[in-house]
């Protein structure tokens, strides 16, 4: 069967997304030809701002390289602008004479930046901000000139201003509106944003009109003249005053255009052989500029081009989720309020947090969030469903994860989202789709989720929420990707490494001192930085820094793992996996007394009591403590278990006393706080029944002693432990293992597993520190023993037992 011919004019995000959707539905239906005016493949226009700011390279924003077009048999013409559509003969012609016939034509010509029609607007040094060429021109100007003026305080204007400031220019933003981002934020949030940006050195002139652009002696723009005659220097002027649908080609072809190419619900123009999508389109009187509606249009157009004709585009309910210079923003619906509406407001300017919810007739009709936008998808879902929220009203402002109080540090707001909640507005991806992909395809990183679901692959503002979904789905098996120069959180520009270095260099022992010394943007930090700083303080100065329970995750504060139904799991410690009748009797008594619905043996050779109510936790721990049992720290960023086989104590193949060695290690490490959970195993012979090869520290007995392995992980992506060294005695096992774990405690970044720490620094580095430098090894081991010297084993008869309350505080923190 002969293929039909499809021509796409416009190689941007909307047009190429239509081709991607079409290739899924009907991969062999068309011979496809693409014309693009720019000399590049399809790229992510949304990420031009990070390129300008120097955060990513130009190559990183390419969505589809030339190999993609070749793989799908697509003829690509770059650097060619189509200037003519011959509708009678169904043929397009480019400016260089290149032509292509079509059976169907798809127009995706996008938009053009609006240049103010004022004197001097033609001068060199005047730019819009729309494509790679504009970005490169700004980068070149920043190397030669000092002063820049950005006209327009919308998203593009602010990102251009921030990027130019980071490139070393003196930047002033001139804005006609009363506050910044007036289409996305209300006045209060706009003022908070301005204050934050001013602290970064940006200058603003609001409610100010530009009258003219003044040329210098070289003929290049040299100044901007404002209303009233004031002139400010500017060798570069960026116009970010809006966009206009690009309809020149469509109008010349006689297509119906009115503030865009007019299309019906099938994305079809008044010519049945011509479709249009993207910013060039007028659908039901609306021209959309956000990427999410454009991708919805792409799906509908692809459906009809594939011949299925089962879908229609009826318009989009949009939300705006942005990250402006590191500050998260969200708005949706009628967030400005108005007659007949009422508002619920949380305003914390010093904490960098603002929420406004607009209600009408018992329903949420609008919201605007500043700083903490994690609840945005939930609010947007309520808004779209037009759900009656009267019963939620008293706690609505706190989001879905709380009753009448705000979300506690460490809680994961993604866990409370419904599967139908939209997470990625750009690509229309809901939570359920992401969770299903993670579970069915074994995804374990943000990049993998982007690749398989497209969530967070466009503007990237939902990346944090996607990572929360990863964490909620994978639990402790999820480790965020650590990046050396990535800020610890939005409260600071400092990385994990620089924060640790500052704590040591300035001998900081309180989180408030860290905030002051490093000029934290928010006075109290956030749920990302507080737990990390708390750990860094305690691991740096264990006898001076005081643990802050409120900076611990909720599981650590409750001393139990919260389950999906809101109950808790309690795991008493069994040293080395060994137990006795008294312990078993105590566990059985507790299970009966507190009506524990599930009692399970764990993979770490412990017994887990599941389904315990929060209010019963203090009492059940008190009963277990009274029987001599302490916490197994199954909830902690700490030593979890030391798994053992029966070893030479009982096994006819055993070469070493595995159970005894395991107990020694576990008692040595009891109460050890670490960047992430730590698991050990001791196998009495190379048959490795304790699975020591996939543990953070694995000990395998051989005839002449032990082999030590490090950096294993038995999680969703299994990491096989790497051989560290061979030792002869039990004491050497303790010393080498303890030294490695102390090195990890001192250098690992918070929430970084040992396998990722090992990957970051390399095995030669660790062997040099631990194996080849005996004095250094003994020093690490001594620091570990010193840090844990107060965590004495209560069962040793040679010393008075430490009070049980010191092992496991049973007074729960709020």
**Other CB atoms closer than 10 Å to residue 286's CB: what's the count?**
12
pLDDT for 165: 92
H or E segment to which residue 448 belongs: helix 446-453
Structure-model confidence comparison of residues 179 and 558, the more confident one: 179
How far is 584 from 574, CA to CA, in rounded Å? 10
End-to-end, the C-alpha distance of the chain in Å comes to 70
Least confident range of 346-360, 474-488, 763-777:
474-488
Mean pLDDT value of segment 690-712: 95
List of residues 6+ apart from 533 with CB closer than 8 A: 499, 503, 511, 514, 525, 551
Residues 654 and 733 in one domain: yes
Mean pLDDT value of segment 41-66: 86
pLDDT (tens digit, 9 = 90+) per residue, 638-650? 999 999 999 998 9
Residues 696 and 711 in one domain: yes
The CATH number given to whatever domain includes residue 692 is 3.30.413.10
Q: Residue 690 domain-assigned?
A: yes
Domain count, the chain: 5
Write out the residue range of the structural domain in which residue 208 sits.
Answer: 126-241
- End-of-domain residue from the set 509, 534, 551: 551
When the pLDDT of each residue in the chain is averaged and rounded to a whole number, the result is 88
In DSSP terms, which residues pair with 450 in a beta bridge? none
Residues 610 and 658 in one domain: no
pLDDT for 671: 87
Task: Kindly tell me if the per-residue pLDDT of 321 is higher than 90.
Answer: no
Q: Match 């991708």 to its residue by tokens.
A: 295
Residues 644 and 777 in one domain: yes
**Confidence band (pLDDT; 50, 70, 90) for 338?**
confident
How far is 303 from 187, CA to CA, in rounded Å? 42
Per DSSP, the residues of 194-222 read HHHHHHTT-EEEES--EEEEEE-TTSSEE
Mean pLDDT value of segment 592-606: 93
How far is 300 from 267, CA to CA, in rounded Å? 7
Task: Kindly tell me if the per-residue pLDDT of 712 is higher than 90.
Answer: yes
pLDDT for 56: 78
Residues 724 and 782 in one domain: yes
pLDDT for 411: 46
Mean pLDDT value of segment 144-164: 93
Phi-psi region of 501 (alpha: psi -120 to 50; beta: other; left: phi over 0): alpha
Q: Residue 41 domain-assigned?
A: yes
pLDDT for 716: 64
Residues 669 and 773 in one domain: yes
Residues 684 and 758 in one domain: yes
Of 678, 755, 672, 744, which Cα lies nearest the Cα of 711?
Answer: 755
Mean pLDDT value of segment 549-554: 79
Q: Is 12 in contact with 110 (CB distance < 8 Å)?
A: yes
The CATH number given to whatever domain includes residue 79 is 3.50.50.60
Mean pLDDT value of segment 115-143: 94
Retrieve residue 806's tokens: 């010191």
Residues 581 and 705 in one domain: no
pLDDT for 485: 60
**Confidence band (pLDDT; 50, 70, 90) for 405?**
very low
In DSSP terms, which residues pair with 105 in a beta bridge? 7, 274
Q: Distance of CA 492 to CAs 3, 37, 515, 519, Å?
A: 56, 40, 9, 8
Q: Alpha-carbon torsion 758, 759, 760, 761, what sign?
A: positive
The dihedrals phi and psi of 713, each to the nearest 5 degrees, come to: -155, 120
pLDDT (tens digit, 9 = 90+) per residue, 70-105? 999 999 999 999 999 999 999 999 999 999 999 999
Q: Residue 319 domain-assigned?
A: no
Mean pLDDT value of segment 542-546: 91
Q: Residue 78 domain-assigned?
A: yes
H or E segment to which residue 784 belongs: helix 774-787
How far is 447 from 457, CA to CA, in rounded Å? 9
Q: Residue 451 domain-assigned?
A: no
Q: Residue 403 domain-assigned?
A: no
**Confidence band (pLDDT; 50, 70, 90) for 785?**
very high
Q: At what angle do helices 730-747 and 774-787 cross, to 10 degrees?
A: 80
pLDDT (tens digit, 9 = 90+) per residue, 427-450? 778 888 999 988 888 887 788 888
Task: Kindly tell me if the per-residue pLDDT of 461 is higher than 80.
Answer: no
Retrieve residue 674's tokens: 């670490």
Task: Kindly tell me if the per-residue pLDDT of 803 is higher than 60.
Answer: no
pLDDT for 477: 64
How far is 129 from 156, CA to CA, in rounded Å? 7
**pTM as predicted:** 0.61
- End-of-domain residue from the set 212, 241, 270: 241
Question: How many percent of the chain have pLDDT more than 70?
Answer: 93
Mean pLDDT value of segment 469-474: 82
pLDDT (tens digit, 9 = 90+) per residue, 675-698? 999 999 999 999 999 999 999 999
Retrieve residue 606's tokens: 């412990």
Q: Match 């204050």 to its residue by tokens.
A: 195
Residues 212 and 282 in one domain: no
Residues 87 and 146 in one domain: no
Retrieve residue 177's tokens: 């509106």
Mean pLDDT value of segment 502-525: 89
- End-of-domain residue from the set 193, 215, 241: 241
pLDDT for 801: 37
Least confident range of 73-82, 333-342, 695-704:
333-342
Largest pairwise CA distance in the chain: 100
Task: Kindly tell me if the per-residue pLDDT of 317 is higher than 50.
Answer: yes
H or E segment to which residue 333 belongs: strand 327-333
Q: Is 292 in contact with 316 (CB distance < 8 Å)?
A: yes
Residues 666 and 696 in one domain: yes
pLDDT for 325: 66
Task: Kindly tell me if the per-residue pLDDT of 192 is higher than 80.
Answer: yes
Retrieve residue 544's tokens: 């001076």
pLDDT (tens digit, 9 = 90+) per residue, 724-759? 999 999 999 999 999 999 999 999 999 899 998 998
C-alpha angle 322/327/329, rounded to 5°?
40
**Confidence band (pLDDT; 50, 70, 90) for 337?**
confident
pLDDT (tens digit, 9 = 90+) per residue, 527-540? 789 999 999 999 99
Q: Residue 269 domain-assigned?
A: yes
Residues 223 and 92 in one domain: no
pLDDT (tens digit, 9 = 90+) per residue, 234-289? 999 999 998 999 999 999 999 999 999 999 999 999 999 999 999 999 999 999 88
Q: Residue 374 domain-assigned?
A: no
């Amino acid at each position: 069967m002969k293929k039909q011919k499809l021509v796409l004019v416009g190689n941007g995000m909307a047009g190429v997304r239509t081709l991607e959707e079409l290739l899924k539905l009907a991969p062999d239906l068309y011979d496809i030809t693409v014309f693009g005016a720019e000399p590049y493949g399809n790229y992510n226009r949304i990420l031009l701002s990070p390129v300008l700011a120097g955060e990513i390279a130009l190559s990183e924003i390419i969505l589809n390289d030339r190999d993609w077009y070749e793989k799908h048999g697509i003829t690509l013409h770059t650097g060619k602008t189509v200037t003519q559509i011959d509708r009678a003969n169904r043929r397009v012609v480019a400016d260089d004479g290149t032509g292509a016939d079509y059976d169907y034509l798809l127009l995706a010509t996008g938009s053009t930046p609006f240049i103010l029609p004022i004197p001097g607007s033609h001068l060199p040094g005047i730019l819009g901000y729309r494509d790679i060429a504009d970005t490169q021109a700004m980068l070149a100007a920043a190397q030669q000139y000092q002063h820049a003026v950005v006209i327009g305080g919308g998203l593009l204007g602010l990102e251009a201003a921030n990027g130019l400031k980071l490139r070393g220019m003196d930047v002033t933003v001139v804005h006609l509106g009363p506050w910044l981002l007036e289409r996305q934020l209300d006045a209060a949030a706009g003022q908070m944003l301005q204050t934050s940006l001013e602290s970064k050195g940006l200058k603003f002139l609001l409610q100010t009109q530009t009258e003219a652009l003044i040329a210098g002696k070289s003929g290049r723009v040299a100044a901007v003249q404002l209303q009233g005659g004031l002139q400010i220097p500017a060798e570069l002027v960026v116009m970010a005053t809006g966009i206009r649908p690009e309809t020149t080609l469509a109008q010349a072809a006689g297509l119906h255009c009115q503030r865009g190419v007019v299309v019906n619900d099938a994305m079809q123009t008044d010519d049945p052989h011509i479709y249009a999508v993207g910013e060039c389109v007028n659908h039901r009187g609306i021209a959309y500029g956000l990427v999410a509606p454009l991708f919805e249009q792409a799906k509908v157009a692809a459906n009809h081009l594939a011949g299925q004709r089962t879908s229609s585009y009826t318009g989009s309910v949009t939300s705006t989720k942005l990250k402006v210079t590191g500050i998260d923003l969200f708005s949706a619906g009628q967030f400005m309020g108005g007659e007949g509406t009422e508002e619920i407001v949380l305003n914390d300017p010093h904490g960098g947090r603002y929420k406004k919810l607009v209600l009408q007739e018992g329903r949420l009709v609008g919201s605007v969030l500043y700083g903490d936008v994690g609840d945005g998808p939930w609010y947007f879902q309520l808004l779209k469903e037009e759900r009656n929220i009267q019963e939620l009203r008293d706690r609505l402002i706190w989001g879905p994860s709380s009753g009448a109080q705000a979300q506690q540090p460490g809680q994961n707001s993604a866990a409370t989202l419904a599967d139908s909640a939209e997470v990625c507005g750009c690509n229309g991806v809901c939570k359920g789709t992401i969770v299903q992909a993670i579970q069915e395809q074994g995804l374990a990183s943000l990049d993998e989720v982007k690749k398989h679901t497209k969530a967070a692959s466009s503007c990237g503002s939902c990346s944090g929420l996607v990572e929360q979904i990863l964490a909620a789905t994978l639990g402790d098996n999820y480790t965020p990707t650590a990046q050396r120069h990535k800020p610890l959180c939005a409260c600071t520009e400092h990385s994990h490494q620089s924060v640790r270095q500052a704590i040591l260099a300035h001998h900081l022992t309180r989180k408030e001192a860290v905030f002051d010394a490093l000029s934290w943007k928010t006075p109290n930090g956030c749920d990302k930085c507080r737990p990390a700083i708390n750990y860094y303080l305690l691991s740096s100065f264990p006898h001076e820094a005081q643990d802050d329970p409120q900076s611990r995750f909720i599981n650590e504060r409750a001393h139990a793992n919260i389950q999906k139904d809101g109950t808790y799991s309690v795991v008493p410690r069994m040293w080395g996996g060994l137990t006795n009748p008294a312990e078993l009797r105590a566990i059985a008594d507790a299970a009966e007394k507190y009506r524990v619905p599930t009692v399970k043996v764990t993979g770490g050779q412990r017994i887990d009591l599941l389904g315990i109510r929060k209010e019963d936790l203090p009492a059940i721990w008190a009963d277990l403590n009274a029987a001599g049992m302490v916490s197994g720290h199954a909830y902690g960023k700490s030593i979890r278990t030391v798994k053992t086989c029966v070893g030479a104590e009982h096994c006819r193949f055993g070469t070493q006393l595995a159970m005894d060695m395991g107990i020694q290690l576990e008692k040595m490490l009891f109460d050890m706080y670490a960047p992430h959970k730590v698991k050990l195993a001791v196998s009495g012979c190379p048959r490795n029944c304790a699975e020591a090869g996939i543990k953070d520290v694995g000990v395998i007995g051989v005839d002449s002693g032990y082999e030590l392995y490090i950096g294993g992980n038995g999680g969703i992506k299994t990491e096989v432990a790497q051989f560290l060294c061979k030792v002869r005695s039990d004491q050497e096992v303790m010393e080498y293992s303890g030294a490695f774990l102390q090195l990890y405690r001192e250098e690992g970044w918070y929430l970084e597993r040992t396998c990722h720490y090992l990957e970051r620094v390399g095995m030669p580095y660790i062997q040099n520190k631990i194996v080849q430098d005996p004095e250094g090894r003994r020093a690490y081991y001594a620091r570990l023993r010193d840090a844990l010297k107060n965590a004495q084993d209560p069962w040793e008869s040679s010393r008075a037992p430490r009070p049980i309350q010191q092992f496991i505080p049973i007074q729960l923190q709020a």
